[in-house]
Structure 1
């Protein structure tokens, strides 16, 4: 049986067909000629095989260079956090350095591709119920599509905020596209609904090896818990996360196995974007012979080892690691798995650290393939180290946070926080009050999850992004753009959509 990534490879062109069926409009010609052999929205969705193909077309939008193969990872997520300090190159990483304009090309690429995820998912959700096929598998297909639509809406909302439309229906006319911006409440209600439907749609808690990468019941529970957490629905979030603490997921012994090719889809993984390589492909979104690999390594790799602007790791992150030691009085092993600095034997790819860097330099190590000579050795998408969207350590820390906020300083919260630390032999925290535990959990999220794209959303949901960047300008010393409160929390709406939608206004901060 083919793995999910192989299905994506086989059906990569189908996503273009489905997107065109959904979103191509224009004036009717004088004479309508119908090609009976052409795919259309009537003759395509006719059997179980086409239902499966339509679902794979949704997954096919995720690993592309325009989505989580590059734009949605290195530039839209990692670079925006305060754990790194990106060097400015507006045409490429404007979103990551708070310098994006409404016409910024990299932002527009991610916008187009992530909305393609929504568009193709909507076709599955609305067309598959009418297909005569096995009802159990039908329910699962719809549940997977509901998960993927909710997943896409999560990133759309937290990237652009309540300034963009919420698309949930089939589009059959230009009026269906020209929707006004939806509120935060509408986005969150839709995400909750989709993840609950996915959770209850008959999916397995975990898929077998032949189906790695598919949305599972566990992934749906995790994303539902995350959406509840972001709304500060603490008790509901804790209840949802608690369903995942029954032993079906576990922390892997080697922390670094979460960031290399050999550790993909391990026992700690709840959902990850599947890369299948295609080293001979080219630039672009879903469909065609395009890259589907870790092209975002170039955006975070040490300068001089990448063609892109690069980033440094901020000093405060290293200081946080160095503030504690293991039970054996050793350095937290996650430090060298996360970054590289001037320590004995430090290497950058195949070179000694001291060859190009000095004592004040701190560089990214996590996810990078130092067995190569540089970031694009062998081609841009050289690595198949999947993008880990949610892993069990993140679930444990989110559960601890929700439980602490709901029941301040609870033993349950403390136990899960310490579980994360025990994996790397860090000493257990003693009992704490709610405030101290809140701070401990937030610090642990940095030690455990830095350079994984979570930090920016954490700052945003905690309401401290502006305070952090305004009060700590050194965390953006490499960039020339100062953070503006009320503006840089969200990106501008792509201008082409504002121009073509009379019901949509630009984010006021960018007008």
Structure 2
């Protein structure tokens, strides 16, 4: 097996990477800390600077917990969060600009941007192997594009920084427009695509690094999010035609601790557990684990208030049967409810889930049922169930969507969605109109990708978010949260950034 990118090497070189070159009368430079001029001297420095860009990804504020469990999963119409002040506010539509969970992910994404900007500006001048230099630049552009992909989808009009800040004016940037930010994201993914190995290999042979497939997949996804269906189809077809990726035979293999970095995975967050770590963002010794389990597990099995799943999701799964007349196997891989012999962690579901909880649908996907609960033992730091950001199944469904929009009801669109359905023995779709196939693809994205962090983004890009919540207030029955059209499509920009930057305006409604 190829070497795996080592998270423990994500040493915090903050003193070298989170500085600015402002001239002050009082020079407080630490003589023992590296400066831009002393740091970017050789290939080792270039590699270290790049690792610092990766560093936030597996941490608690990011994909380890706060971003995934709270902001990506709990906000959609799939989830029905229970109220928990300061934690579940985004999911109950009560988040305020001063919310610390909002600030944490905002800050970490911009840490990635700042560090990527320095790599992109400094590495071209470093004397080193040309091929590796190009790979490093490709990885940095991918990571910056990835950071802004989430920034524009979460906050919409946040600032766009594409250079290393040298003055206060370059720090206090105004709001960007989504259109300008998307153009930058697409350009970053194009550059990454051109600079990363096209044979599907990982740079340096280290699993977990950005690859050509990841860059191309996110380039196609970015075009799709901008309704540029022609270019989306072209880029996504490149991934399909490459022959590098395929679906796993077993759908559930995508969500277990024991199996990771499979042929279906284009990019996933690498968790190593780091049980001796501490709570926090990217640093010398922080938790790098799947800690979001407590935010999505049934509340009787978590110290958090957590969430349930809205009934329509289970109904969607049960509305169709496999070719041989059975239930879609993705249902029990995704959800747990009161079905015969259902287990919840190490308990019999019907014995432990009493009253209304027995009638409620709960999350199954990504949960480690071999344990006794979500948080024992070592829930915050021990779980190494990698988060799959981009799967080949998503590529196929996005390609089907793009092809259907370009060539309504195209055979190519039918074929792509049928590959996904065939894996779980669901019957093929044939001869559907553009409108019917469009809805079928949207429904299939729920069956295949539910609780993987894409649903809220999908709702926003389809323009259905407000309608879904306004027409279905029961989706927030646990909290009585009310979705406000024109406000809750995006999170608030953190108050400390707005208050300290006179050029920055708050998002509408906050």
TM-score (norm: length of structure 2): 0.96
* Contact 1:18–1:120 (Cα < 8 Å) also in 2: no
TM superposition shift of 1:34: 6.4
Q: CA offsets per residue over residues 382-419 of structure 1, 9 Å max, x none? A: 21111101000000000000000000000000000000
TM superposition shift of 1:354: 1.4
TM superposition shift of 1:40: 0.9
* Contact 1:44–1:50 (Cα < 8 Å) also in 2: yes
Q: CA offsets per residue over residues 212-269 of structure 1, 9 Å max, x none? A: 1111111011000001000100111001100011221000001011011122100000
* Contact 2:18–2:115 (Cα < 8 Å) also in 1: no
TM superposition shift of 1:137: 0.7
**Match status 1:452 vs 2:452:** yes
Helix, strand or coil at the partner of 1:91: coil
Helix, strand or coil at the partner of 1:388: strand
Q: CA offsets per residue over residues 410-446 of structure 1, 9 Å max, x none? A: 0000000000000000111121110010010001001
Residue aligning to 1:391:
391
TM superposition shift of 1:205: 4.1
Helix, strand or coil at the partner of 2:483: coil
Q: Where do 4+ consecutive residues of structure 1 move more than 6 Å? A: none
TM superposition shift of 1:20: 2.5
Residue aligning to 2:160:
166
* Contact 1:5–1:276 (Cα < 8 Å) also in 2: no
Name the Cα RMSD after superposition. Answer: 1.6
Q: Flag the 1:368–1:25 CA change in 2: closer, same or farther, 3 A.
A: farther
Residue aligning to 2:311:
315
Helix, strand or coil at the partner of 2:217: helix
Match of 2:257 among 258, 261, 274: 261
Residue aligning to 1:373:
372
Helix, strand or coil at the partner of 1:92: coil
In 1: Cα distance, 2:315 partner to 2:382 partner: 32
TM superposition shift of 1:503: 0.4
After the TM superposition, which residues 213-232 of structure 1 pair with which residues of structure 2 at under 5 Å, given as runs?
213-232=208-227
Residue aligning to 1:137:
132
Residue aligning to 1:183:
177
Helix, strand or coil at the partner of 1:389: strand
In 1: Cα distance, 2:23 partner to 2:97 partner: 25
Residue aligning to 1:49:
44
* Contact 1:376–1:382 (Cα < 8 Å) also in 2: no
Match of 1:121 among 116, 120, 141: 116
Which consecutive residues of structure 1, in runs of 5 or more, have no partner in the other structure?
none
Q: Flag the 1:378–1:5 CA change in 2: closer, same or farther, 3 A.
A: farther
* Contact 1:5–1:275 (Cα < 8 Å) also in 2: no
Q: Flag the 1:127–1:433 CA change in 2: closer, same or farther, 3 A.
A: same
Residue aligning to 2:15:
17
Helix, strand or coil at the partner of 1:124: helix
After the TM superposition, which residues 284-433 of structure 1 pair with which residues of structure 2 at under 5 Å, given as runs?
284-358=280-354, 359-379=358-378, 380-433=380-433
Q: Flag the 1:308–1:473 CA change in 2: closer, same or farther, 3 A.
A: same
In 1: Cα distance, 2:159 partner to 2:457 partner: 20
Q: CA offsets per residue over residues 87-143 of structure 1, 9 Å max, x none? A: 111211211221100000111111111111111111111100010111111011001
Q: CA offsets per residue over residues 125-179 of structure 1, 9 Å max, x none? A: 11000101111110110010000000000101100012x1011110112211101
After the TM superposition, which residues 191-230 of structure 1 pair with which residues of structure 2 at under 5 Å, given as runs?
191-208=185-202, 210-230=205-225
In 2: Cα distance, 1:194 partner to 1:221 partner: 11
Which consecutive residues of structure 2, in runs of 5 or more, have no partner in the other structure?
none
